Structure 1
Amino acid sequence: MELRHLRYFIAVAEHESVRLAAKRVNITQPAISRQIQYLEEELGVSLFDRGPRGLRLTAAGTLYLAEARKVLALLDAAGRSARLVAAGQEGQLRIGFVENAGWDGLVPELFSRFQREAPGVRVELAPLNTPAQLEELADGRLDGGFVYLFGPAPAGLHVRPLLEHDVVLAVPCAWNLPADAPVHARDLAGRPFVTFPRHTYPAYYDRLIGACQQAGLTLNVVQEVSTEAAILSLVSAGIGAAIVNSANRGRPPALARFIELADLSIPLPLAFACLDATHNPALDRFLRVIDSAS
């Protein structure tokens, strides 16, 4: 049995006429009559009563018509879904992002724009630091990720530079430091600091420590935690100050303040990374959204 047999049968059943059905499906009357006969022989039942007034569905034909329509509807739906997936309009994406980059600005704008353009794509967001994203990208567990890269990208990754953040000083409100004047790093000597362990992101940790030393500040680290959200929680609790990504301004803690550093800058280049060889049309569409926004 072929799909065309179902289409011919449905046409004849709906028109109750071989002549009209043949015209609809654009084949000759003898040809469509033969195909209906082949179908009945294969099924082993009569689908039509043939009388002087034309064709009428038998009980078996009535049931078969309903089921044939379901089959064709499912196939049509499958075809539409396949075309939407191929166009990046349906499917699934798993995108990583460094959490503080998602508070405001470009990253949430890109997610919002993509959802407007491809509402049929299910986007799963994974808040991960940069090294964890790079690991999951290499393993194929992420389709792409918003990362802060220091140095060359790992082999096999395609990187689209987006923008650059910097660092800012976060202090407890209880310290009563003036918020409208930049602070020199050397003036923070001896004050307690909260930072992250080196193994969390060695390249960034080394750059942070080096920049502090160059500015005349040796950090008096009293506690280490793995995320900037946790760091800012400890700053809010008065445990110490911290040097954090300026993107955190998009989510200012109630009990901490951000102050500019007069003589300490660490450019933080935000980029979107994905594998060089992509096989997900939804990712290709996401990349087009990124390109149109840059």
Structure 2
Amino acid sequence: MDFRQLRYFVAVAEELSFSAAARRLHVSQPPLSLQVKALETELGAVLLDRDKRNVALTTAGALFLEQARRALGNLDRAAEVVRLASQGEAGEIRIAFTASVPMAEAFPRVVQTFRSSHPAARADLIHMSTGQQLQALADKSIDVGFLRPSLLFCPPPNIQTLDLWTDRLVVVLPAWHALADTQSPLPMAALADEPFILFPRGLGCGLFEHVMVLASRAGFAPRLMQEAREGATIVGLVAAGMGISVLPDTYARTGIPGVVYRSLDTPDATSRLLLAYRRDDAAPLLQRFVDVVRPNAGTAV
């Protein structure tokens, strides 16, 4: 049994005429009749009562017609999915992002644009640190990642990156802190005596190292009070008076009460965001996603 036989049978069953079915299918009548007969032989059942003038469905034929239509419908849908996937219109794409990325206005805009322009595609969003993303790209458990590179980041040879935008680093202070009323940018040296709450060094985003470098240039080594893996947790600990922090300015959008954000007067107090994906990944859907992201580079806020 093959799909051609199913199509032939459905045409005859709907037309109740071998000649009309042959015209509809643009085939000659003898091969059509032979294929329907072969189908009946394989099934071991008579599907059509026929004489020289009339064709009618048997009880078995009526039941089989319903199943044949369903099978052909599934085949057509499967063929359409394959066609869309080959054109980058369907399939699944796994997108990783660091914690602060959704706070940038460009990220939800990119995701919304991609989903609306590719309704047949599925976008799975996965929260990962920079280090986790690089490993996941290597073992092919994600397709693309939004990550914050370390200061000396050099992508592996098989990883392609796209510069997206740069965030300013800001000081996060308890609202009652003596420096909270200062409206002008703060010198890094003003933080020398403060307890710091930072991301762990091992996350791979480079913020820990960047703060250490900025502090070293200002002539001090930060006093590390607490580490936390989530930016919102760091902001919450600052609000609780556990210390201060230096974070990308996107965290100002968290809306956590009890903290203020103040600029640093250091020009290189910045944090980059990159898009990363495998160079050898030729999946059409990935290329479509990159095409959606590219015009948004540099438009985070």
Q: TM-score, normalised by structure 1?
A: 0.92
Task: State which drifts further: 8-17 or 50-59.
Answer: 50-59
Correspondences of 1:99-248 after superposition (within 5 Å) = 99-150=99-150, 151-176=153-178, 177-201=180-204, 203-248=206-251
Indicate the percent of aligned positions where both proteins have the same amino acid.
31
Residues 166, 7 of structure 1: CA spacing in aligned structure 2 closer, same or farther, 3 A cutoff?
same
Aligned residue number for residue 268 of structure 1: 271
Q: CA deviation at 1:135?
A: 1.4
Alpha-carbon separation, structure 2, partners of 1:94 and 1:2: 36
Q: Which runs of 5+ in 1 are unaligned?
A: none
Alpha-carbon separation, structure 1, partners of 2:214 and 2:36: 82
Alpha-carbon separation, structure 1, partners of 2:46 and 2:255: 76
Q: Which runs of 5+ in 2 are unaligned?
A: none
The question of whether the paired residues in 1 share the 8 Å contact of 2:239 and 2:257 is answered with yes
Secondary structure of the corresponding residue to residue 186 of structure 2? coil
Task: State which drifts further: 201-210 or 98-107.
Answer: 201-210
Aligned residue number for residue 262 of structure 2: 259
Alpha-carbon separation, structure 1, partners of 2:38 and 2:190: 93
How many corresponding residue pairs?
A: 294
Q: Deviations over 1:186-216 (max 9, x none)?
A: 2222122222332333844333211211123
Q: CA deviation at 1:25?
A: 0.5
Q: Deviations over 1:228-256 (max 9, x none)?
A: 22211111101111111122122242111
Task: State which drifts further: 30-39 or 67-76.
Answer: 30-39
Letter aligned with residue 76 of structure 2? D
Residues 70, 11 of structure 1: CA spacing in aligned structure 2 closer, same or farther, 3 A cutoff?
same
Aligned residue number for residue 92 of structure 2: 92
Letter aligned with residue 273 of structure 1? A
Aligned residue number for residue 38 of structure 2: 38
The question of whether the paired residues in 2 share the 8 Å contact of 1:212 and 1:264 is answered with no
Aligned residue number for residue 28 of structure 1: 28
Q: CA deviation at 1:52?
A: 4.7
Q: TM-score, normalised by structure 2?
A: 0.90
Alignment RMSD: 2.0
